[in-house]
């Protein structure tokens, strides 16, 4: 694009305009730069406050969560059982979707996806 507009979600340069919205063909993100106060300014703030658990509750650093289903630990024979309570979580920006950093008793430090936990 000639104006240098990039996707606020994946930073792709291959975006196009459809009416009032801009669309990224790589990640399918749609946004309106005028409504957000500039390209990406509002999208970044919305993404930071938008980490939600499986029930839709907003999560924040220091919360306690409960795992809702058995999760296999990749690269190991360990399993995080459903109902395991995890205290003092940290929200991180994981590129692979793992947006919770935590320490689980008996397993150690690991990252979880917010869709597999509920706020305790």
CATH fold group of domain 7-38: N-terminal domain of TfIIb (2.20.25)
Q: Where are the domains of the chain?
A: 7-38, 64-119
pLDDT by residue, tens only, the chain of 120 residues: 446 688 888 888 888 888 788 888 888 888 887 766 544 444 444 444 578 999 989 999 999 999 999 999 988 999 999 999 999 999 998 778 899 999 999 899 999 999 999 998
Does domain 64-119 match CATH 2.30.30.40?
A: yes
Cβ atoms of 35 and 22 closer than 8 Å:
no
């Amino acid at each position: 694009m000639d104006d240098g507009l990039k996707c606020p979600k994946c930073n792709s340069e291959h975006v196009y305009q459809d009416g009032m919205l801009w669309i990224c063909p790589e990640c399918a993100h749609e946004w309106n730069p005028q409504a957000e106060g500039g390209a990406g300014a509002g999208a970044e703030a919305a993404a930071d406050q938008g980490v939600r658990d499986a029930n839709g509750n907003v999560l924040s650093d220091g919360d306690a969560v409960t795992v809702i289903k058995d999760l296999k630990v990749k690269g190991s024979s360990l399993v995080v059982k459903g109902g395991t309570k995890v205290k003092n979580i940290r929200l991180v920006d994981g590129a692979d979707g793992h947006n919770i950093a935590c320490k689980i008793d008996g397993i150690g430090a690991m990252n979880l996806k917010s869709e597999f936990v509920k706020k305790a």
